[in-house]
Chain A
Amino acid sequence: MRAISFVRQFVEVVLAIAIAPLFAGWIAQCRAWLQNRSAPPLLQPYRMLRKLFFKDAALAKDASALFRTTPYVLFGTMVLAAAIIPSLVTDLPLAQVADSIALVGLFATARVFLSLAAMDIGTAFGTLGARREMMVGFLSEPALLMVLFNAFLLYGSTSLPSLVDAYRVHQYVVDPSVIFAAVAFVMVALAENARIPIDNPSTHLELTMIHEAMLLEYSARHLALVEWASSLKLFNYACIGFALFLPWGIATHGMDSGWALPVAIAALIGKLVIAGAGLALIESLSAKLRIFRAPEYLAMAFLLAVLGLLVHLLLGA
């Protein structure tokens, strides 16, 4: 393993941490434009984080160590996830020990910690949010795994960097199962990141919240870390999507020219711009689903992913 790999790994992680809030800001901006509002500045999420880091944290009287450590755990798991997703390069030293199944596990860890922390305080809303989050989580995880198995069937690996490398070799093969998997993935990504139609990230109605209800008791630096972790999660999901379905521009193994990394960065930013606009469009066009429609929605995602598998097995083989 060469030193340059570690440098690239480092650059990728730092870039992910740095631009994740920017991605969230871009989506907010697109949403505002689509709704005929004047948009908040692109850098608004950074200002928010800065403001929160400078405030004094208020903790509930009954908060245990779990509540206090959860923001760090969340942030840590999302950074780790960013380290094993090939957003810029596939030559990732860390990725060799964790494939995409482990990645799903990382997201699950974060979910469990956040839900436990929400229940730790003992308020009605925290528990309400945690319960709903677990309902969404246990339905979206299998759907996500099915999407990943689609890729496995196509390229013979569950490791995302290997998938991207393999794509380089077979890049002219377009398999119909990819379309099913891609639709399923977008549906799961919306649900997992607390976006419309499952959850509404900008709501102030405490009774309808899922993700936000779990954060109601967090303040200052804790809230900043949780918010940052949320935007990192969204960024990570976008990068998983790019790795699975739009892997153009990612610097693969053996691409050692000095241009590979700048090209990869430019490609990533281009893709994020388009994905963010697309996400904002979906959110602006839909209303929020009634919460008991969420299982139907996620079952649909699961079904599409399974259809992808069947299409591949029956037609593609």
Chain B
Amino acid sequence: MTHEFESAMKQLPSNLPCNHTRVGAVRWRQSAERFHTDGGRLLTLWGSDDRDRDGLFRIYAAYLLKEGVAVVEHEMEHGTTPAYPSLAETFPCALRMERAIHDLLGITSMEPDHRGWLRHGGWPQTVFPLRRDFDGSQQFSVNSQPYPFVQVEGDGVHEIAVGPVHAGTIEPGHFRFSVVGEKVLRLEERLGYTHKGVSKRFEEMSQKEGRHLAARLSGDSAVAFSWAYAAALEAITQTACPPRAANLRALALEHERLANHLGDLGALGNDAGFAFGLTQFSRMKEDLLRVNLSTFGARYLFDFIQPGGVASDLPPSAPPLLLDHYHVLEENVSSLRVIYDNHAGLQDRFRESGILSQEMAEKLGAIGLAGRASGVPLDLRVDHPCSPYDRLQPKMITQSAGDVAARVQVRFDEIFESLRLCRMLLADFAPGPIQTECSLAEPGRLGLGLIEGWRGPVLIALESGPDGAIRRCHAHDPSWQNWPLLEYAILGNIVPDFPLINKSFNLSYSGHDG
């Protein structure tokens, strides 16, 4: 069977080695189990309504394996309710994705949890916005129903409902704590408040325009998403990005990583009541954003990466200026690291808070930064380096403790590693074009773009339509995998430590809700 399975695999256009295969319902489950025993990760699930083409619904699963990415496709007849076997038993993180797919497409996994995930009463239960016969301009009145949270019962147990509107200016999400005194017995998240219908919007755009929307899926990962989009489109059109443009992309991606890590380290200090850390790191982040403005032409790099290359070249004055800036930044971060590491009060808050053990992280399918802090060594830049990372040889940075302190240390280490990569990139700049023409993709081609953003791997699955249109575009943020981790990391901790633990993961609401 194994042999049969592998021989059925075809190459799929991607910036990573990527295989594609079509399976039936039984194989759908079996392949997941096999990838799981081989140490693979579920990257994402997405569905597609192809009734206009061949009367079928399709569901796709992308797995990250040691040798690359495997995409498994399963077709469903359009019965009353198209259904497919759930993968949640093998990969727990699949559950929410399956619920989201049901809300958008009306194809269901055979899984008992049928509570809406993205649908908060914004559209009727019988309407599925991602189906082809749904008109995106339709309006519905909001009809919100109570959401049945799992109840914890017992002596002295009570619930604390937090959000979606918080006391501070942060994104909306609801957290339901079941507590005894201050101790958390259970946390249940409810997300989807920032669902914007991004997938539907993509289908109204041309392949050229799509990059603008991709960059805006989650503002803090603009470079990662726009690179993933460009990589997917370049893969299906077989466009090669010029080396100079690839270097510039990597430079922008590392700058994005730096800016986010700096902001997070400051916020983590502040959440532990150490406001000095916040002001110092905020200043460094602001300096970096200003450097971005002078080198890339924008503070946040929303439209820097385009299919076929990048929007602008470095000004000639930039390299020495950047090197100076890296030097200052490195010194500042080093001295602040000493302060953070030696501050008894801060370390008391960081250590042993929100522990996510390696075993749990493996079981739940943790990826990205949060996974690396729990001893799960996964980093696309190291494991499957695409140009120019194959030349840079980034170091894998991991910690084993899995607590807030470990996530802080990973951020510190990654800042220094990113600075090293940036310096290497600058030393390695050969003159050349920064843009090639990206032709129109022929219709019905599926391609994958996968880039390690600061939070973890972001994925864009792009299917081309006729005349340069987008038939289907699925964007996946690593927050899908990592939000459920938080529910476990908080167990046994006390309620007032939650904001700190949450911040140490710093997951995206917008990227997750789509």
- Select from chain A the residue with minimum beta-carbon distance to B499: A205
Q: Quick check: A208 and B167 within 8 Å, CB to CB?
A: no
**CB-defined contacts of A128 to chain B, threshold 8 Å:** 160, 495
For A276-317 the 0/1 string (1 means CB < 8 A from B) is 000000001011111111000000000000000000000000
Is B431 engaged at the interface, CB distance under 8 Å to the other chain? no
Q: List 9 A-B contacts (CB under 8 A).
A: A197-B273, A202-B275, A204-B169, A205-B499, A207-B162, A287-B269, A287-B348, A290-B348, A292-B494
Of the stretches A32-40, A163-171, A267-275, the one at the interface is A32-40
For B326-362 the 0/1 string (1 means CB < 8 A from A) is 0000000000000000010110110000000000000
Known pairs A207-B499, A287-B272, A287-B349 / 18 extra A-B pairs, C-beta < 8 Å: A35-B275, A36-B279, A124-B162, A197-B273, A197-B345, A204-B167, A205-B167, A206-B162, A206-B168, A207-B498, A209-B167, A284-B275, A287-B346, A288-B349, A290-B349, A290-B496, A291-B494, A292-B182
Is A183 engaged at the interface, CB distance under 8 Å to the other chain? no
Q: Quick check: A35 and B276 within 8 Å, CB to CB?
A: yes
A200 to B275 Cα, complex, angstroms? 10
Q: How far is the CB of A196 from chain B (nearest CB, A)?
A: 5
For A117-138 the 0/1 string (1 means CB < 8 A from B) is 0000000110010000000000
**CB-defined contacts of B51 to chain A, threshold 8 Å:** none
Tell which of B273, B495, B496, B497 touches A287, judged by Cβ atoms closer than 8 Å. Answer: B273
Q: Quick check: B162 and A36 within 8 Å, CB to CB?
A: no
In chain B, positions 395-444 with a C-beta closer than 8 Å to chain A are none
Q: Quick check: A207 and B345 within 8 Å, CB to CB?
A: no
Q: Contacts A36-B283, A124-B160, A128-B160; is A216 near B167 (CB within 8 Å)?
A: yes
Is A257 engaged at the interface, CB distance under 8 Å to the other chain? no
**CB-defined contacts of A35 to chain B, threshold 8 Å:** 275-276, 278-279
- Select from chain B the residue with minimum beta-carbon distance to A285: B276
Q: Quick check: A288 and B273 within 8 Å, CB to CB?
A: yes
**CB-defined contacts of A202 to chain B, threshold 8 Å:** 275
Q: Contacts A37-B279, A197-B345, A284-B276; is A124 near B499 (CB within 8 Å)?
A: no
- Select from chain A the residue with minimum beta-carbon distance to B497: A290
Is B274 engaged at the interface, CB distance under 8 Å to the other chain? yes
Is B280 engaged at the interface, CB distance under 8 Å to the other chain? yes
Q: How far is the CB of B500 from chain A (nearest CB, A)?
A: 8
Interface secondary structure of B, over-half rule: helix
For A33-69 the 0/1 string (1 means CB < 8 A from B) is 0111100000000000000000000000000000000
**Total residue contacts A-B, CB cutoff 8 A:** 79
A197 to B279 Cα, complex, angstroms? 18
- Select from chain A the residue with minimum beta-carbon distance to B276: A35
Is A222 engaged at the interface, CB distance under 8 Å to the other chain? no
Q: How far is the CB of A206 from chain B (nearest CB, A)?
A: 4
Is A211 engaged at the interface, CB distance under 8 Å to the other chain? no
**CB-defined contacts of B182 to chain A, threshold 8 Å:** 291-292
**CB-defined contacts of B166 to chain A, threshold 8 Å:** 204, 206
Tell which of B159, B161, B278, B499 touches A208, judged by Cβ atoms closer than 8 Å. Answer: B499
- Select from chain A the residue with minimum beta-carbon distance to B168: A204
Is A31 engaged at the interface, CB distance under 8 Å to the other chain? yes
In chain B, positions 250-305 with a C-beta closer than 8 Å to chain A are 269, 271-276, 278-280, 283
**CB-defined contacts of B278 to chain A, threshold 8 Å:** 35
In chain B, positions 457-495 with a C-beta closer than 8 Å to chain A are 494-495
**CB-defined contacts of A286 to chain B, threshold 8 Å:** 273-274, 345
Q: How far is the CB of A190 from chain B (nearest CB, A)?
A: 12
Q: Quick check: A207 and B495 within 8 Å, CB to CB?
A: yes
- Give the top 7 A-B pairs by smallest Cβ distance, nearest first: A288-B273, A204-B168, A287-B345, A205-B499, A206-B167, A208-B496, A287-B274
A275 to B126 Cα, complex, angstroms? 66
A210 to B53 Cα, complex, angstroms? 60
**CB-defined contacts of B161 to chain A, threshold 8 Å:** 124
**CB-defined contacts of B497 to chain A, threshold 8 Å:** 290
Q: How far is the CB of B293 from chain A (nearest CB, A)?
A: 22
Tell which of B168, B269, B273, B343 touches A200, judged by Cβ atoms closer than 8 Å. Answer: B273
A125 to B179 Cα, complex, angstroms? 13
Q: Quick check: B496 and A207 within 8 Å, CB to CB?
A: yes
Tell which of A31, A37, A197, A291 touches B496, judged by Cβ atoms closer than 8 Å. Answer: A291
- Select from chain A the residue with minimum beta-carbon distance to B269: A287
Q: Quick check: B348 and A293 within 8 Å, CB to CB?
A: yes
In chain A, positions 239-279 with a C-beta closer than 8 Å to chain B are none
- Select from chain B the residue with minimum beta-carbon distance to A286: B345
**CB-defined contacts of A31 to chain B, threshold 8 Å:** 275
Q: How far is the CB of A284 from chain B (nearest CB, A)?
A: 6
A291 to B499 Cα, complex, angstroms? 13
A203 to B278 Cα, complex, angstroms? 12
**CB-defined contacts of B280 to chain A, threshold 8 Å:** 36
**CB-defined contacts of B345 to chain A, threshold 8 Å:** 197, 286-289
**CB-defined contacts of A124 to chain B, threshold 8 Å:** 159-162
**CB-defined contacts of A288 to chain B, threshold 8 Å:** 272-274, 345, 349
**CB-defined contacts of A204 to chain B, threshold 8 Å:** 166-169
For A169-201 the 0/1 string (1 means CB < 8 A from B) is 000000000000000000000000000110010
Q: How far is the CB of A128 from chain B (nearest CB, A)?
A: 7
